[in-house]
Amino acid sequence: MKMQSYLLPQLQQKMKLSPQIIQSIEILQLPLLALIEHVQQELAENPVLDEVVDEKKDENAGEGDETARLSESENAAPVDELDKLGEIAEDWRDYYSQTTVRRNNYLEERDQKQEALENTAAKPMSLHDYLMGQLSLIDIPPRLVETCENIIYSIDKTGYLAGPLEEIMQSLEKPLPIEDVKEALRIIQSLEPPGVGARNLQECLILQLDKRDPNYPLMRELLLHHLEDIEMRKYPMIAKKTGYGLEVIKKQVEFIRTLNPKPGSIFCDETIPYVVPEVKVEYIDGKYEVFLIDNANLPHLHISSFYKRFLGENGADTTTRQYIQKKIESAKWLIDAIEQRRGTLYKIACKIVELQKGFLDEGIHHLRTLKMQDVADIVGVHVSTVSRAIAHKYIQTPQGIFEMKFFFTGGFQNVDGTMESWESIRQKLSDIVAKEDKSGPLSDEEVADKLRASGVDIARRTVTKYRRIMKIPSSRQRREY
């Protein structure tokens, strides 16, 4: 059978997003700081884009340049050489003015970058660096230096020794006896913060005790043999087993609870994100007003008039004109996408404020259930547009600063048929636990009964789930003697 290849034309219908729509979607979901960085990059890459610093100042400067030019032309001497110089100056005036503007923008941008570098927080010291710094200041036997360093780098971010000592022995270039490795571990455990280098919770807490304290033997016994009973607050049973009074046990347990179970946690390697709200809500003349607060940080863009005039003139080659035209179209798409983003964000924020007025007035107890589809239907956009518009964006309200997606939440249907948000129910659960009698704390079933009495139809297992999410201890662990 003969094998051949053919070209066959086909007609197909496909839905394909244009570059403008893709750019609008990307800009819509960018948070403010990322958008500012994107705009700064476009300013550096697109020569037709300029940043408006002060429009009135620019207009006055332009009028002054025009007046000076007319005055010079009127007072010019009728000399051929001066006429030629005047013509050259006219031809290159726009170029030099454009160069001056770009040089000033470059100097201003450089000053802003320098200021940003000066205001950027330095990387925090890590736990390993802190321990190595202490190790370099103490006298230790030369044979233990490598072992001590290996132990330091075997400590995890919580401050615990990540592996057994046998693994550290195998990693050494010159193997040492287990007694030397244990001695090196004792050296590391004597460093700050107290409790570092421990192999378990009991050892970590015991390392933080002061051996000069007269209560040291009792606290060490409590940590070695009654740690689980302390967690479950079985103080009477501990007092009976140890022979000490209940008040003595409670006093020692209160001190033990002040110890740090994760000594390495004070060294945080992760940088805390800087939150910048894009929307501000203020109560003015009896109603809530919505403002976009990106104007102070986001550069105002416009297309350079120099390149507009360049396209209107003759003499430029086709390649240059096509390049400039393409850059102008790209700049228009960017400016339109930013304006569309601001408009969409403002409309969504206004509807959130309108629908969550109870929360703004009274607090989280009055946060109503709200779906993105509801806001999308009111604003007249697709639900995915709402999702992208509120992604990683924050709103400043009289109740505090919140992520915009905080206002979109599900909930339960109350006995009277109204809906109540999950956040509101969690707040009610927290209030019930805070007001309970600590000598006889409420069980999850009793908390569910109190919530049902307030109109919230909720099951006991749901209370248990929310309590664990909120990291509220069980009733036994909340008991106080």
What average pLDDT does the segment 203-225 reach?
93
- Residue 33 pLDDT > 50: yes
One-letter amino acid of 400: G
Q: What is the Cα–Cα distance from 278 to 32, expressed in whole angstroms?
A: 7
Give the model's pLDDT for residue 199. 92
Are 310 and 324 within 8 A, CB to CB? yes
Which residue would you say has higher pLDDT here, 96 or 347? 347
Confidence of residue 120 (pLDDT cuts 50, 70, 90): low
Q: Which of 75, 72, 130, 64 is nearest to 97 (CA)?
A: 64
CA distances from 62 to 55, 94, 153, 210, 447 (A): 10, 11, 64, 76, 73
Taking CA atoms, 281 is separated from 130, 274, 289, 363, in Å, by 44, 20, 6, 14
pLDDT confidence band for 439 (50 / 70 / 90): confident
pLDDT tens for each residue of 264-323: 888 865 666 678 899 999 999 889 999 988 666 788 888 888 888 877 776 667 888 888
Give a three-class secondary structure readout of the chain.
CCCCCCCCCCCCCCCCCCHHHHHHHHHHCCCHHHHHHHHHHHHHHCCCEEECCCHHHHHHHHHHHHHHHHHHHHCCCCCHHHHHHHHHHHHHHHHHHHHHHHHHHHHHHHHHHHHHHHHCCCCCCCHHHHHHHHHCCCCCCHHHHHHHHHHHCCECCCCEECCCHHHHHHHCCCCCCHHHHHHHHHHHHCCCCCCCCECCHHHHHHHCCCCCCCCHHHHHHHHHHCHHHHHCCCHHHHHHHHCCCHHHHHHHHHHHCCCCCCHHHHCCCCCCCCCCCCEEEEEECCEEEEEECCCCCCCCEEECHHHHHHHHCCCCCHHHHHHHHHHHHHHHHHHHHHHHHHHHHHHHHHHHHHHCHHHHHHCHHHCCCECHHHHHHHHCCCHHHHHHHHCCCEEEECCEEEEHHHHCECEEECCCCCEEEHHHHHHHHHHHHHHCCCCCCCCHHHHHHHHHHCCCCCCHHHHHHHHHHCCCCCHHHHCCC
* Domains recognised in the chain with CATH numbers: 127-266 (no CATH), 411-478 (1.10.10.60)
Closest to 248 measured CA to CA, from 211, 228, 225, 221 = 221
For the stretch 215-232, pLDDT in tens is 999 999 999 999 988 888
What pLDDT, on the 0 to 100 scale, is given for residue 345?
93
Dihedral angle over CA of 75, 81, 87, 92, nearest 10: -110
Q: Which residues make Cβ contacts (< 8 Å) with residue 337, sequence separation at least 6?
A: 20, 23, 24, 27, 28
Confidence of residue 256 (pLDDT cuts 50, 70, 90): very high
pTM value? 0.62
pLDDT tens-digit profile of 36-92? 888 888 888 888 888 877 654 444 444 444 443 434 444 444 445 545 545 555 554
User: What distance, in Å, lies between the first and last C-alpha atoms of the chain?
Assistant: 94
Q: Return the pLDDT at 189.
A: 93
Phi, psi at 281, each rounded to 5° = -115, 125
Instruction: Check residue 62 and give its pLDDT.
Output: 46
Sequence-distant (6+) residues with CB within 8 A of 371 are: 408, 410
- pLDDT at residue 64, as a whole number: 45
Whether the pLDDT of residue 214 is over 80: the answer is yes
What's the pLDDT score for residue 263? 92
* Tokens (6 digits) for 183: 């001695």
